[in-house]
Every structure is written in structure tokens, then in C-alpha cells.
Amino acid sequence: MPAKQNERFRLKSIRPSGKKEESFFKLVYEIARQIPTGRVTSYGAIANCLGTKLSPRMVGWAMNGAGKVRPKVPAHRVVNRNGVLSGKHHFGDPNAMEKLLKKEGIAVKNDTVIEFEKLFWDPTKELGFQ
């Protein structure tokens, strides 16, 4: 991705100093909003991007509350490290997450994203923090 294009995707809230000007959940939501349509990432990948690679469960907690957040957060694009729709029960309708992913052209079988590795979006790499 060219440098100028990459700049517009950078997180506004993360400072090189590492200071936390925003809450952890807000940073998680900001990253999740940048996941492109038709792509998925994992709780752990978001945690790693935020410098807390041992906190994927906290990312999961943030995603659990994402339904009430505005602007909207595409929480359906965040799955576990194996591509499993582990957060599907937090959508009200247990099939909602799968329906939303399929609407974006993402194939799901047995609650698992097909071709997960191919569709995986790594925020650390894609946002230029690597």
C-alpha cells in the first residue's frame, strides 16, 4: 500500500509515545471500524496492534459491547484466532454474525470462516505499525 494511502488508515488515537489518550475499548473500536468489507481479523490481532498481545479477551469484551456504540462497529468481522465465530452469541440472533459475513461475501461453514488465512486482515501490518 503506498505511503499516502496508508496514512489515511492510521489510527488517530494511538500516539508514538504510547500514551493512552483514549480508552482501550475506543481504540479497539477504531481499529475494528477500519477492517475492510469482506475481510476479517482476530481478537488477538487487534490486541497485538494495540501493544497488548496478551489481552485478546479484553478485545472480546469490547466487541461484546460494540452493538451500543456509535458510529457503528463491524464486530461481525472479528473472530477468534482460528476463524471461529466465537462471539456469535452476543448478536441477539445466534445466526446474525454469519449472515452479516455472508452478506459481505465471506463463506462460513460450521461457524468457521472458510479461507480464514486468505481473508485475514492484520491491523499491525495494514495500518503500518510493523
> Is residue 17 packed enough to be buried (19+ CB in 10 Å), middle (13-18) or exposed (0-12)?
exposed
pLDDT tens column, 31-84: 999 999 999 999 999 999 999 888 999 999 999 999 999 999 999 999 999 999
Q: What is the CATH number of the domain that holds 99?
A: 1.10.10.10
* pLDDT for position 22: 61
In the chain, % of residues over pLDDT 90? 75
Q: Work out how many domains the chain is built from and give that number.
A: 1
Q: Which residue has the higher pLDDT, 103 or 130?
A: 103
Domain that holds residue 87: 3-126
Distance, CA of 68 to CA of 57 (rounded, Å): 19
